[in-house]
Structure 1
Amino acid sequence: MNPKTREPEVTEPETVREEKPPVFGTYSNIGGTYSSLSRRSFLTRLGATGIATASPTVAIANVVDAPETPSARHAGTQTVHLSINGKRQTLQLEPRVTLLDCLREVVQLTGTKKGCDHGQCGACTVLVNGRRINSCLSFAVMHEDDEITTIEGLGTPQEMHPMQAAFVEHDGYQCGYCTSGQIVSAVGMLKEPWGPADKDVREAMSGNICRCGAYPNIVRAIQMVRSRVSQQGVDA
């Protein structure tokens, strides 16, 4: 090609490549340079940072562990008077505490079980003024001066309630987790106007679930106590 007729070459502007700092590296604003930092150095500095921040944490813990004043200790709580298994109890409770959690965590009566915590299984059944309720659905502060009966208040291993003895005699349980709720519910049921047939018992006890499927034995136990109550005047 004739040099005189050659078209001038078009050159593209040079693209400046922006470099990014490495994962383990430090950036210097002076001159835009990087200094390498090994993984070992990075972890060493990280450990030193943790040690440096430990002192404020200890200081905070000291403040939290300081003795509370009586007013601070009871802030947000309410005085509640309950009669539990015949014993008068005066408790300081937050309004959000359920009767179930009050019995288990505060009064330490753990015979009442927490199952679904939604009022669907009946494991938490207790008697309030003789009426059976799901204690997981009721706030403790709602029961001022109420008479509450749990499985511990029905009987003892040495002196069992007739319903407890009937459950033992008829094997009305397998794993036993639902048994306390079943027994308390059955005691409350006997004071309600249900029919005498087995189907009436099953309907009356439908709110108490047995995952092991011991329903036939539970019905037999309840019917035995019902017959003794009607024939012999046994207090259920």
Structure 2
Amino acid sequence: MTKLMVNGVAREFDGDDSMPLLWALRDSLELPGTKYGCGAGLCGACTVHVDGKAVRACQASVSDVDGKSVTTIEGLDPEGEHRVQQAWRELNVPQCGFCQTGQIMQAAALLEENPKPSDDEILTAMAGNVCRCGCYQRIVQAVRLASTGS
């Protein structure tokens, strides 16, 4: 039995602990905000926080997070008012929106670690998150807005 905190709630998982965290979150814990993108950890659509660090949920197994704290997009801010989410809305970042939960989770982890990143630091941190619609300029602008609050 794997024990973990998910979005601040103690949870137990009694399935196959080699299952990718992505599927445990989506199918077993019914948290569909974490998206399946490539399944190889290359696109970032499945980004969640594990003990505050950005992690590709398709590459982490349930056993990898035993005893750890996992935050999904649903738990970043239950009301959707995290400063990154606010910046995303203010700047109308997404087009299709599919990759945006992963983008937001990656940006939030960056700002937690580096509250005032330069544009180069934003580009480096966000480089592993693919946006098929090409919203990269708005993504950088939103991260910059979230970092400054203006």
The TM-score range, normalised by the shorter chain, is: over 0.9
Please give the residue correspondences for 1:37-186 in structure 2 after superposition, counting only pairs within 5 Å. Answer: 79-156=1-78, 158-186=79-107
Question: Is this contact kept in 2: 1:163–1:186, CA < 8 A?
Answer: yes
| TM-score, structure 1 as length reference | 0.61
The answer to whether the 8 A contact 1:163-1:222 is kept is yes
| Alpha-carbon distance in structure 2 between the residues aligned to 1:161 and 1:172 | 15
Does the aligned pair in 2 maintain the 1:194–1:204 contact within 8 Å?
Answer: no
Unaligned runs of 5+ in 2: none
Deviations 1:10-68 (A, max 9, x none): xxxxxxxxxxxxxxxxxxxxxxxxxxxxxxxxxxxxxxxxxxxxxxxxxxxxxxxxxxx
* 1:81 aligned counterpart, secondary structure: strand
Gaps of 5+ in 1: 1-78, 232-236
Q: Using the alignment, how far apart are the partners of 1:142 and 1:154 within structure 2?
A: 21
Aligned 8 A contact 2:48 2:73 in 1: yes
Q: SS at the partner of 1:221?
A: helix
- Does the aligned pair in 2 maintain the 1:93–1:141 contact within 8 Å? no
The 5 A counterparts of 1:1-16 are: none
Structure of greater Rg: 1
Distance 1:100 1:129 in 2: 16
**Aligned residue in 1 for 2:145:** 224
For residues 159 and 107 of structure 1, the distance between their equivalents in structure 2, rounded to whole angstroms, comes to: 20
Q: Which has the higher contact order (CA 8 A, sep 6+)?
A: 2
Residue 192 and residue 172 in structure 1: after superposition, are their counterparts in 2 closer, same or farther (change >3 A)?
A: same
CA distance in 2, matches of 1:127, 1:196: 19
Deviations 1:150-195 (A, max 9, x none): 0000124x55211111101111111000000000110001123487
Identical columns (%): 38
Matched, 1:203 2:120: no
Aligned counterpart, 1:73: none
Q: 1:209 to 1:202 in 2, by over 3 A?
A: same
| Contact in 2 for aligned 1:195/1:201 (Cα 8 Å) | no
Moved over 2 A (4+): 191-197
